[in-house]
């Protein structure tokens, strides 16, 4: 079986972005209404009933990692380590980290949804709750990083799936659990992050050495 060409991989990523973008557009309509949905309120009340101070403390490191001041430098460090060890594609991680954050800022220029009622010990926030910033940034980076690191042989397929799905799921659930966001804020962030990640993978081409190009040409013929 012939290996998939970089062009084919980029086209697949671009195709995958279309339905995810459609889902994001749907959540944008919900956010434009400002009022939370019935499901938002049900999940918010459930999170309040299940709240435990120890669980909130346990997820705090993840809350820090989800800040752009943490995951953007982390992308640079991983990219640098990859270059030192002769691995390629680290630039895609940097592009993903910046793209996730910039897309969030862009969306929030057009949407300002009020925050949910703030739980005790959490100060007021004026910034829009839609979409969740932590979830958008880490979803974008996790999807791109999983794809690149698996391709470079640094992660097994199982490990890549865990990163690609597990990290976005964990950060999204944590944002709902601590009642920082409505459910639809997180759903919209997953959709936005997935769209941006697919766009990054469709644009950023994997660099190849001359020897790799020769081997690919010989396989193709």
At residue 140, the 3 state secondary structure works out as helix
**What pLDDT shows up at residue 177?**
95
CATH architecture of 6-220: Up-down Bundle (1.20)
Position 4 scores a pLDDT of 42
**Which of 113-117, 142-146, 183-187 has the lowest average pLDDT?**
113-117
Domain definitions of the chain by residue range: 6-220
- Residue 89 makes CB contacts below 8 A (sequence gap 6+) with 82, 148, 151, 152, 204, 206, 207
Closest CA to 142 of 84, 201, 183, 82: 201
pLDDT surpasses 70 at 220: no
The answer to whether 171 and 185 are in contact (CB under 8 A) is no
- How does residue 157 score in pLDDT terms, banded at 50, 70 and 90? very high
**Between residues 153 and 19, which one has the greater pLDDT?**
153
């Amino acid at each position: 079986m012939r290996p998939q060409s970089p062009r084919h991989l980029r086209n697949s990523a671009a195709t995958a972005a279309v339905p995810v973008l459609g889902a994001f557009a749907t959540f944008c309509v919900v956010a434009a209404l400002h009022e939370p949905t019935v499901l938002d309120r049900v999940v918010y009340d459930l999170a309040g009933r299940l709240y435990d101070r120890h669980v909130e403390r346990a997820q705090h490191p993840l809350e820090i990692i989800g800040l752009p001041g943490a995951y953007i430098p982390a992308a640079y460090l991983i990219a640098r380590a990859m270059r030192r060890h002769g691995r390629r594609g680290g630039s895609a991680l940097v592009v993903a980290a910046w793209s996730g954050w910039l897309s969030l800022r862009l969306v929030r220029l057009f949407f300002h949804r009020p925050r949910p009622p703030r739980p005790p010990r959490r100060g007021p926030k004026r910034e829009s709750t839609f979409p969740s910033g932590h979830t958008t940034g880490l979803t974008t980076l996790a999807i791109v990083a999983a794809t690149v690191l698996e391709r470079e042989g640094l992660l097994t397929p199982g490990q890549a799936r865990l990163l690609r799905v597990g990290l976005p799921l964990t950060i999204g659930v944590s944002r709902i659990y601590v009642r920082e966001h409505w459910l639809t804020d997180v759903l919209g962030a997953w959709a936005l992050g997935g769209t941006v990640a697919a766009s990054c993978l469709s644009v950023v081409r994997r660099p190849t050495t001359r020897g790799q190009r020769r081997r690919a040409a010989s396989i193709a013929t």
